[in-house]
């Protein structure tokens, strides 16, 4: 089995795949007569296709526990997809760049630990694993594309990867 080492989720490390949504280190300004700090435009919603439109949804994800194995990835070719925990649940993010023949390049696959105060916005077409709430059931705000065109490609692998270095 292949091993994929977990990394902390940082804006710089995740930049090739999307945006990290977090308050720490982000630009802000006051609104509402100075009573609120607005962390503005942390990510752009990307939409492609004639009938696409951005939507906001809620999702509840089952808890995953170590050991975690990765045997598939998916991508959304017509829109970005953001996952923002609203109950401070950490989650595991696995991503890979596009490779040959419309498949992910698993030699460059990476795994990140998203702390409960962080969200991610996968750029349009980024290969990623479906949601893996870590340790506890998670509740998330999801911002992505709705429309009639199919917007999910899935690839299943003959071999799997185990994520190493997960927190206890």
At residue 100, φ and ψ (nearest 5 deg) are -75, 150
pLDDT at residue 1, rounded to an integer:
78
pLDDT at residue 92, rounded to an integer:
98
Q: What residues in the chain have per-residue pLDDT under 70?
A: none
pLDDT at residue 142, rounded to an integer:
98
pLDDT at residue 19, rounded to an integer:
98
pLDDT at residue 10, rounded to an integer:
97
CATH number at residue 115: 2.60.120.480
pLDDT at residue 91, rounded to an integer:
98
pLDDT at residue 120, rounded to an integer:
98
pLDDT at residue 52, rounded to an integer:
95
Range of 130's domain?
2-164
Considering its fold, how many domains does the chain have in total? 1
């Amino acid at each position: 089995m292949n091993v994929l080492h977990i990394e902390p989720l940082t804006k710089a490390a995740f930049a090739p795949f999307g945006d990290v949504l977090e308050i720490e280190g982000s630009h802000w300004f006051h609104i509402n007569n100075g009573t609120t700090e607005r962390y503005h435009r942390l990510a752009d919603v990307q939409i492609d296709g004639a009938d696409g439109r951005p939507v906001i949804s809620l999702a509840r994800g089952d808890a995953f526990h170590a050991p975690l194995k990765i045997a598939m990835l998916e991508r959304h070719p017509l829109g970005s997809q953001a996952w923002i925990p609203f109950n401070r649940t950490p989650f595991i993010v696995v991503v890979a760049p596009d490779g040959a023949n419309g498949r992910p390049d698993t030699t460059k696959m990476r795994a990140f630990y998203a702390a409960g105060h962080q969200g991610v916005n996968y750029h349009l077409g980024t290969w990623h694993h479906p949601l893996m709430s870590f340790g506890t059931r998670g509740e998330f705000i999801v911002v992505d594309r709705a429309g009639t065109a199919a917007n999910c490609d899935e690839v299943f692998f003959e071999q799997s990867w185990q994520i190493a270095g997960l927190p206890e």
